[in-house]
Amino acid sequence: MTTESSGCPMHGSGRPASIVHEEKAQLDFSRDMSYGDYLQLDQILTAQKPLSPAHDEMLFIVQHQTSELWMKLMLHELRAAIAALASPQADTRPEAFKMLARVSRIMEQLVNAWTVLSTMTPPEYTAMRPYLANSSGFQSYQYRSIEFSLGNKNAAMLQPHAHRSDLLEQVQAAYQAPSLYDVALQLLAREGLEVPADRLQRDWTQPYEASEGVKQAWLTVYRNPQQHWDLYQLGEKLADIEDAFRLWRFRHLTTVERVIGFKRGTGGTGGVSYLKKMLDVVLFPEIWSLRTEL
């Protein structure tokens, strides 16, 4: 067999090598920043340190580490969107809508990640589970910050982070701040909609409770979307986020049930039973209930 017919990428027909030279691609990075340098791949790709001899622990670690990276981006977008919606300047709203759309797309990535983890069978997980000790996704400070930013406030969820003052500070900030929905309702009021005063100024650490007055305000928006176009878009962006969040939670539930059945979680929760309760949490209740009356 000749070199040319072997399909060798650099020596076969000579075309790949010639294309590289024709494009004048930089090949020497002894003095310049490379792709790996910029992304700090040495640190990222050496952060996977399995504790067990089980082959599948690498899948478990990578899935959760990449999910945390996506959650980091989600928080970045959520915080910026909340700030943009809270601004009295109307020209910040398109930026906020773009960020909220990105949050929904990030959640789609997180949903798909469970599909990869679901290839782990019960015996494969059992082989590595003892090495996890009490560590659990339940303890993710980024996930908790996301939940708090979306309005699912619960003081007990601060406790898993009490041993780290730096992490507790971040989670507590999200816990004490107005949620995305709180800021959305303040925007409705600034645009002249009648939002009950007790929903505009309240204890932000408490979970939001549905209000008939808030539903009527949103109905005004949805019955005349052209007149309230920005608010109409905001309502649909909120619906997109909660829709995606429900799918994320549901896929988590089905993956856990597929892999461990109804065993208790490593973090001490009931596992599937706890996740089922989380499916009943509604973040933006009036956005959903108004549809029945349209």
Interval 229-250 mean pLDDT: 96
- Asked if residue 100 has pLDDT above 80, the reply is yes
pLDDT at 29: 86
Question: For the chain, where are the alpha helices, taking DSSP H only?
Answer: 15-22, 35-39, 41-44, 57-86, 93-117, 122-128, 141-149, 165-176, 180-190, 197-200, 212-223, 229-260, 272-278, 285-289
pLDDT at 265: 65
pLDDT at 134: 86
- Asked if residue 271 has pLDDT above 90, the reply is no
Contact between 155 and 127 under an 8 Å Cβ cutoff? The reply is no
Q: Is 292 annotated as a binding residue?
A: no
Give CA–CA dist 187/226, Å, rounded: 17
pLDDT at 268: 61
pLDDT at 138: 80
Tell me which of 177-191, 209-223, 225-239, 270-284 is least confident: 270-284
Q: Is 60 annotated as a binding residue?
A: yes
Q: Is 61 annotated as a binding residue?
A: yes
Which tops the pLDDT comparison, 205 or 17? 205
Give CA–CA dist 206/202, Å, rounded: 8
Render pLDDT for 12-71 as a digit per residue (tens, 0 to 9): 555 666 776 777 788 888 889 999 999 999 999 999 999 999 999 999 999 999 999 999
Q: Which of 65, 62, 47, 54 is nearest to 128 (CA)?
A: 54
pLDDT at 30: 87
pLDDT at 1: 46
Task: Return the SS3 of 278.
Answer: helix
* Percentage of residues in the chain having pLDDT higher than 90: 74
* Extents of the domains making up the chain: 54-292
Query: Whole-number mean pLDDT of the chain?
Result: 90
Give CA–CA dist 24/42, Å, rounded: 27
Q: Sorting pLDDT into bands at 50, 70 and 90, what band is 252? A: confident
Interval 89-97 mean pLDDT: 93
pLDDT at 80: 97
pLDDT at 87: 94
pLDDT at 277: 78
Q: Is 63 annotated as a binding residue?
A: yes
* Percentage of residues in the chain having pLDDT higher than 70: 91
Give CA–CA dist 123/56, Å, rounded: 10
Interval 118-129 mean pLDDT: 93
Interval 146-166 mean pLDDT: 95
- Asked if residue 222 has pLDDT above 80, the reply is yes
**Alpha carbon of residue 70 to chain centroid:** 6
Give CA–CA dist 294/223, Å, rounded: 7
- Asked if residue 266 has pLDDT above 80, the reply is no
Contact between 161 and 167 under an 8 Å Cβ cutoff? The reply is yes
Q: What is the pTM of this model?
A: 0.88
Tell which phi-psi region holds residue 40, choosing left (phi > 0), alpha (psi between -120 and 50) or beta. left
Give CA–CA dist 10/8, Å, rounded: 6
pLDDT at 26: 83
- Asked if residue 167 has pLDDT above 90, the reply is yes
Q: Is 266 annotated as a binding residue?
A: yes
Query: At CA 128, angle to CA 127 and CA 133, rounded to 5?
Result: 130
Contact between 133 and 266 under an 8 Å Cβ cutoff? The reply is yes
Q: Is 62 annotated as a binding residue?
A: yes
Give CA–CA dist 77/101, Å, rounded: 9
pLDDT at 13: 53
Amino acid at site 25: A
**Alpha carbon of residue 281 to chain centroid:** 16
Find where tokens 């906020």 sit: 96
- Asked if residue 8 has pLDDT above 60, the reply is no
